[in-house]
Amino acid sequence: MRETSILDVQRIRADFPILQRKIGDNPLIYFDNAATTQKPRQVLRTMQEFYCTYNANVHRSPHILGQEATELYEQAHENVARFIGADDGREIVFVRSSTEAINLVAYSLLHGESERLRLEPGDEIVLTIMEHHSNLVPWQVLRDKEGVVLRFVGINDDGGLDLEQLKRQVTGKMKLLCCAHVSNVLGVINPISEIERITHKAGALFLVDGAQSVPHMPIDVKELGCDFLAFSGHKMLAPMGIGVLYGRKELLEEMTPFLYGGDMIADVKLEGATWNKLPWKFEAGTANVCGGIALGGAVELKSGRRLEGAVDYLQRIGMEEVRAHERELIEYALDGLRAIPGVRIYGPLNPDERTGVIAFNVIKGGELADPHIVAGFLNDEGIAVRSGGHCAYPLADRLGVEGTVRVSFYIYNTKDEVDRFLEVLDDIVRRKLA
């Protein structure tokens, strides 16, 4: 098997049972990692072990299972904090997903008890047109119901963010700037440090949507300088239903909770309630304890046994290596795609400027082929890709298309798989499309 020069992909692949699947007679080629990634045995084992050995509700039950589950869950917060360079687990709120993390911030800032943080009618939020709907629609609701003003930053023709326009969109009324670190369509890596400087110079808060960056490259929230970072476990080897909101401690302390009840409470009288300390103040009700441990991993203190989480698995490989492996695959795939007549690639062509997400269309006889049909032909050969607007419709409008075909890579993908994809696509373009 032809691999990249970076990772021992054969060994990695052996950890992913689903990759043994066949689709018809063809081995599965899974190129839909931007939607969700597959899960390694180690993470699946942790989930099974949690339910077979430790299952109990956290922060309430005094028995041994309750104590152990609590200890593991708290450690998982600490491990995730270390993974992204946060100060400690108090800055890590476990939520369901990136979507929930962003909604939490939107709700909390709107209903803020703190005057400094509260969004008022006329306050401005700057967004880019490449945002996933999860980082657009919550802010549109604030605009439509609450009179907050949204200002948008476009892209250049190469798919890069229009930084000059961004600077022009910043006014003294800007309270918040929200930006994807990496576009889930263009794969482009946005210049977060520069955006951070502009945002903070204007005295606004900076929210980074890290759904497509945290799984694919080393991330240090201190280096990014962001106030909030949202990401999803299921896009980085953990199960669905667990995500993270990182927030700077001082901000989270000052912010209003999003959901109410259960663990987020310190004390309740009939007259009112007070909130728990961080991060529990934002984790209302029964948490996804198994998901949190499967993401962050933990050590069972009495036995010393490690329950490996997705973060442990990625750290063992090394995030620099994850990035380098994907970079090699992107370069290889971009070269191959450019050699197929009629393929139009969106986003920058320099692999240093993008991650392992490539959106493209096929032009045949002067017409754009329906991306769903192209994806269907690929599926017939066992190649799983995504087609459509990828929950970023305003970006599709800007690109002048209804949708694209998107391939997206991860640690278990190989150059052999890219070769097979290119061969099948070439055949689709030459023979199958009318």
Ligand X SMILES: Cc1ncc(COP(=O)(O)O)c(C=O)c1O
Binding residues for ligand X (CB under 6 A)? 34, 97-99, 132, 134-135, 180, 184, 209, 211-212, 232, 243
Q: How far is the CB of 326 from ligand X (least distance, A)?
A: 15
290 as an active site residue: the answer is: no
Q: How far is the CB of 246 from ligand X (least distance, A)?
A: 14
Cα–Cα dist 424/312, whole Å: 36
CB 186 within 8 A of CB 207: no
| Residue 229: CB minimum distance to ligand X, A | 11
- Are 402 and 389 within 8 A, CB to CB? yes
- Comparing CA positions, the residue from 215, 209, 185 lying closest to residue 195 is 209
What's the rounded Cα separation, in Å, for the pair 87 and 76?
14
Nearer to ligand X, 131 or 308 (CB): 131
Nearest to ligand X of 6, 93 (CB atom): 93
Nearest distance, CB of residue 64 and ligand X, angstroms: 34
DSSP E strand stretches across 81-173: 92-95, 124-128, 149-153
* Token pair listed for 248: 């700077």
Rg (alpha carbons) of the chain, rounded to whole number: 22
Query: Smallest gap, in angstroms, from Cβ of residue 345 to ligand X?
Result: 19
Residue 145 burial class via C-beta count within 10 angstroms: exposed 0-12, middle 13-18, buried 19 and up: exposed
How many angstroms separate the Cα of 187 from the Cα of each of 216, 322, 346? 11, 15, 9
Rounded to a whole number of angstroms, the minimum distance from the CB of residue 4 to ligand X is: 23
In the complex with ligand X, the residue whose CB is nearer, 6 or 47, is: 47
Which run of H or of E encompasses 76?
A: helix 64-83
CA distances from residue 388 to 40, 153, 364, 374, 385 in whole angstroms, order as listed: 28, 23, 18, 11, 10
**Is 235 in contact with 212 (CB distance < 8 Å)?**
yes
Centre a 10 Å sphere on the Cβ of residue 122 and count the other Cβ atoms it contains: 10
Question: Where on the phi/psi map is residue 144: left (φ > 0), alpha (ψ -120 to 50), or beta?
Answer: alpha
Which of 36/379 has CB closer to ligand X? 36
Per-residue DSSP letter, 136: T
Of residues 132 and 281, the one with the C-beta less far from ligand X: 132
Other residues' Cβ atoms within 10 Å of the Cβ of residue 116: 8
Given 178, 179, 226, 391, the catalytic residue: 391
Q: CB of residue 347 vs ligand X: minimum separation in angstroms?
A: 13
H or E stretch including 232? strand 228-232
Q: Minimum distance from CB of 236 to ligand X (Å)?
A: 10
| Six token digits for residue 389 | 């607007």
35 versus 319: smaller Cβ distance to ligand X: 35
Nearer Cβ to ligand X, position 259 or 299? 259
User: Please, which residue, 46 or 232, has the CB nearer to ligand X?
Assistant: 232
Burial class (CB in 10 A: 0-12, 13-18, 19+), 157: exposed
Residues annotated as part of the active site: 391
